[in-house]
């Protein structure tokens, strides 16, 4: 297991740095990893920070497409924003092989004045023999939407039609590849046959968006759960957490959420498989005032 971990980590280094480290206060991560035969490792990995977060230096880091990185040689030396001081907390960097079926890595990056080794800050999750599977057929819808100008620290909602869905339908969003850095989104069924697309701007300035293509798919999953959650009063500019139990879920699993149709305007939210059998639900308030968030939340996992 240590060798598998070492081989995968060699390729992870530069991609994580590209996706999250944009300011001061970063932790240096360095080391050298080789293949079992002693030669430098070469390979490709997909790396993501699974949640948007604010680093200790004040920089904002958004969820983006997984970075596909090809590495030649096993040596690495890069900097990465620590997640032990990030807001929100409780998440880990996810590193997955571009080849299906290999281990998934969960990495905690500490705040450190000296260099750390990836082998010391990452753990591997090996899929069990009874993984969940995607069943049934996809249905899909898409639309071109023009959001116009969104001020910094605020959100805007637009909708499009998707026949057959209800407020409990699990939706898999498809975001535009050209969505600007600093803009994060949420899709949910706000009513029967209607998809609400919410974009929130955390870029530090005004963002003006032209026509962009948004898509959404539905499917059935082997692992599902739902429950009533109440976050209480969330002050403006802050986040709160609740959790759902989903037996069989593993850290790093991709979570397909179902949001309450009544989720308040100005709230952005995301879900993470934070530990075995647990889905952490994060709700962040950018409405400009204190508000309460509650309702029935659902989560599904396919591996």
Three-class HEC string of 57-72: CCCEECCCCCEEEEEE
| Average of per-residue pLDDT values in the chain | 78
213 alpha carbon, distance to own chain's centre: 21
Reported as a single tens digit per residue, the pLDDT across 142-198 is: 999 999 999 998 999 999 999 888 898 888 888 998 888 889 899 999 999 999 999
- The phi, psi pair for 214, rounded to 5°, reads -115, 140
Distance from C-alpha of 5 to C-alpha of 136, rounded to nearest angstrom: 34
Could you write out the three-class secondary structure of the chain?
Answer: CHHHHHHHHHHHHHHHHHHHCCCCCCEEEEEECECCCCCECEEEEEEECCCCEECCCCCEECCCCCEEEEEECCEEEEEECCCCCCECCCCCEEEEECCCCCCEEEECCCCCCCCECHHHHEEEECCCCCCCCEEEEEEEEEEEEEEEEECCCEEEEEEEECCCCCCCCCCEEECCCCCCCCEEEEEEEEECCEEEEEEEECCCCCEEEEEEEEEEEEEEECEEEEEEEEEEEECCCCEEEEEEECCCCCCCCCEEEECCCCCCCCEEEEEEEEECCEEEEEEEECCCCCEEEEEEEEEEECC
- What's the half-sphere exposure (Cβ side, CA atoms, 13 Å) at 129? 0
Q: Which of 59-63, 100-104, 172-176 has the lowest mean pLDDT?
A: 100-104
pLDDT of residue 303: 54
pLDDT of residue 69: 62
pLDDT of residue 231: 94
Tell me: pLDDT of 106 over 80.
no
pLDDT of residue 15: 36
pLDDT of residue 65: 52
**33 or 280, higher pLDDT:** 280
| CA neighbor of 297 nearest in space, from 284, 275, 279, 276 | 279
pLDDT of residue 116: 87
Tell me: pLDDT of 98 over 60.
no
pLDDT of residue 31: 74
Q: Is cis: bond before 55, omega within 30 of 0? A: no
Reported as a single tens digit per residue, the pLDDT across 223-275 is: 889 999 999 999 988 899 999 999 888 887 888 899 999 999 999 999 988 88
- What's the half-sphere exposure (Cβ side, CA atoms, 13 Å) at 144? 2
Q: What is the CA radius of gyration of the chain?
A: 20
Distance from C-alpha of 225 to C-alpha of 246, rounded to nearest angstrom: 6
pLDDT of residue 244: 94
pLDDT of residue 155: 92
Reported as a single tens digit per residue, the pLDDT across 34-55 is: 554 556 766 666 677 777 778 8
């Amino acid at each position: 297991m240590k060798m598998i971990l070492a081989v995968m980590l060699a390729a992870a280094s530069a991609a994580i740095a590209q996706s999250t480290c944009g300011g001061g206060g970063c932790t240096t991560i360095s080391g050298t990893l080789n293949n079992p035969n002693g030669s430098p490792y070469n390979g490709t990995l997909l790396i993501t920070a699974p949640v948007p977060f604010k680093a200790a230096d004040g920089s904002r880091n958004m969820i983006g497409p997984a970075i596909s990185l090809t590495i030649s040689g096993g040596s690495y030396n890069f900097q990465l924003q620590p997640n032990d001081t990030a807001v929100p907390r409780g998440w880990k960097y996810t590193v997955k092989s571009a080849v299906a079926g290999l281990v998934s890595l969960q990495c905690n990056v500490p705040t450190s004045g000296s260099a750390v080794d990836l082998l010391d800050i990452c753990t591997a999750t090996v899929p069990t023999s009874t993984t969940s599977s995607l069943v049934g057929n996809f249905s899909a819808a898409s639309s071109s939407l023009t959001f116009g100008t969104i001020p910094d620290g605020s959100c805007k909602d637009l909708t499009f039609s998707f026949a057959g869905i209800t407020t409990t339908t699990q939706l898999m969003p498809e975001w535009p590849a050209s969505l600007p850095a600093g803009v994060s989104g949420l899709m949910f069924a706000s009513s029967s046959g209607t998809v609400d697309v919410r974009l929130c701007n955390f870029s530090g300035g005004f963002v003006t968006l032209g026509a962009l293509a948004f898509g959404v798919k539905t499917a059935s999953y082997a692992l599902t759960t739902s429950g009533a959650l109440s976050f209480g009063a969330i002050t403006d500019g802050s986040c709160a957490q609740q959790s759902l139990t989903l037996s069989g879920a593993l850290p790093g699993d991709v979570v397909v959420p179902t949001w309450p149709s009544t989720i308040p305007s100005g709230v952005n939210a995301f879900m993470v498989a934070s530990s075995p059998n647990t889905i952490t639900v994060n709700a962040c308030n950018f409405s400009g005032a204190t508000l309460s968030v509650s309702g029935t939340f659902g989560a599904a996992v396919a591996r």
